[in-house]
């Protein structure tokens, strides 16, 4: 397997897998079973799953063509460039039946984040892009130059967790910059809002601005909701799902879904008042990385792993 991104220096791994053992150990209940890793990335989790299988099968998905270049040469493995929001159709189109285990390790890979050309980071100057799927029609440039001021404000509040007053100011500054034709690059975006950035928490503030835009560009939360809603239909009974999230918006959706079978977190009752839950959360509290892992891989610090069983 190629763990080294072709556009990066040799010393930079494509991605260091997070919570590797905890995510895989609970997942594999039958070494001859069929498994799906819906976020292949650099393939670290997929590689570990394959190690635990004997004559089982692993299908992996990623919407990014750069991730597809990391494919694993193994006859028990199939990698498909697809969005996991289409999981049910993908499984129907490939005749392996229903999986007994599904893994999702959400968000962006280190490769996407550290590759200046992808425009995900405020540390590098490049075109505003932030698309995980490079064929998608909406880039950060399109969004920032076309969304209404109110839409920008809303996305900063919802996805960046900014106060309304901060979101309003951010949206206003962006609209002013774009009307002067000054919103094409990541550094231009940073300059357009520089006067609003508290210097003591500069990096955290800018990270939230970029995260909010990235979530909207990639429709990350709607893709997650679509995926979760298909899980009860696509996972075999007794099958396990492991999901690693990196911020509270994602984690809340997963937590609610495992608890109640829907993303709102409200238990639905049938005509007779009975509730039916499709999942049993295996760990009541999310599993988080040990301090040792965070030291080795600081990007793991916000990770939360939740594991549930289909009942
Ligand atoms: C955190 S990385 C996964 C890293 C991987 N577990 C590893 O060990 O290298 C997330 C990956 O999921 C992909 N991804 C994110 N959202 C996706 C979606 N909705 N559909 C398909 N792939 C997605 C990204 O392109 C990225 O490569």
173 vs 1, higher pLDDT: 173
Classify the C-alpha dihedral 285-62-70-78 as positive or negative: positive
Q: What's the 56 CA to ligand 1 centre distance in angstroms?
A: 22
Which ligand 1 atom is nearest residue 42's CA? 9
Domains and CATH numbers, the chain: 20-111+220-310 (3.40.50.150), 137-217 (1.10.150.170)
Sheet arrangement for strand 101-105: 77-81, 57-62, 34-37, 101-105, 240-245, 304-310, 279-281
* 3 state SS of 79: strand
Q: Give pTM, 2 decimals.
A: 0.94
CA distance 261 to 259: 6
Give the mutation target among 14, 23, 40, 113 for probing the ligand 1 site: most ligand atoms within 8 A of CB.
40
Q: What's the 69 CA to ligand 1 centre distance in angstroms?
A: 13
List, for residues 98-113, the tens digit of each pLDDT value. 999 999 999 999 999 9
List, for residues 298-309, the tens digit of each pLDDT value. 999 999 999 999
CB atoms within 10 A of CB 11: 6
The yes-or-no verdict on residue 270 having pLDDT over 90 is no
Q: What's the 105 CA to ligand 1 centre distance in angstroms?
A: 6
CA distance 272 to 131: 46
Position of tokens 């009541």? 284
Q: Please, what is the angle between helix 220-234 and helix 202-217, to 10°?
A: 60
Q: What's the 28 CA to ligand 1 centre distance in angstroms?
A: 20
Ligand 1 residue neighbourhood (C-beta within 6 Å): 15, 17, 39, 41-45, 61-64, 67, 83-85, 105, 107-109, 132, 223
Rounded percentage of the chain residues whose pLDDT exceeds 90 = 89
Q: What 8-state DSSP symbol labels residue 223?
A: H
CA distance 77 to 46: 9
């Amino acid at each position: 397997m190629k763990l080294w991104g072709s556009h990066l220096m040799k010393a930079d791994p494509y991605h260091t897998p997070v919570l590797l053992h905890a995510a895989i150990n609970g997942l594999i209940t039958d070494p001859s079973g069929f498994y799906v890793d819906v976020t292949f990335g650099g393939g670290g989790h997929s590689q570990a799953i394959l190690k635990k299988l004997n004559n089982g099968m692993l299908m992996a998905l990623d919407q990014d063509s750069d991730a597809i270049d990391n494919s694993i040469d193994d006859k028990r493995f199939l990698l498909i460039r697809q969005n996991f929001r289409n999981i049910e159709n993908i499984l129907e189109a490939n005749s392996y039946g229903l999986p007994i285990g599904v893994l999702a390790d959400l968000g962006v890979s280190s490769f996407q984040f550290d590759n200046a050309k992808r425009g995900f980071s405020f540390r590098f100057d490049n075109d505003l892009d932030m698309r995980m799927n490079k064929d998608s029609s909406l880039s950060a440039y399109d969004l920032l130059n076309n969304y209404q001021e109110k839409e920008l404000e809303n996305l900063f509040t919802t996805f960046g967790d900014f106060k309304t007053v901060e979101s309003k100011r951010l949206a206003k500054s962006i609209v002013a910059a774009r009307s002067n034709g000054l919103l094409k690059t990541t550094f231009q975006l940073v300059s357009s809002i520089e006067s609003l950035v508290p210097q003591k928490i500069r990096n955290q503030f800018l990270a939230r601005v970029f995260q909010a835009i990235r979530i909207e560009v990639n429709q990350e939360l709607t893709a997650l909701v679509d995926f979760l809603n298909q899980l009860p239909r696509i996972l075999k009974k007794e099958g396990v799902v492991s999901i690693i999230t990196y911020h509270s918006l994602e984690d809340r959706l997963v937590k609610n879904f495992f608890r109640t079978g829907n993303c709102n977190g409200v238990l639905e009752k049938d005509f007779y008042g009975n509730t039916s839950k499709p999942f049993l959360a295996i760990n009541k509290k999310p599993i988080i990385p040990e301090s040792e892992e965070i030291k080795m891989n600081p990007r793991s610090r916000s990770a939360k792993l939740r594991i549930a069983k289909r009942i």
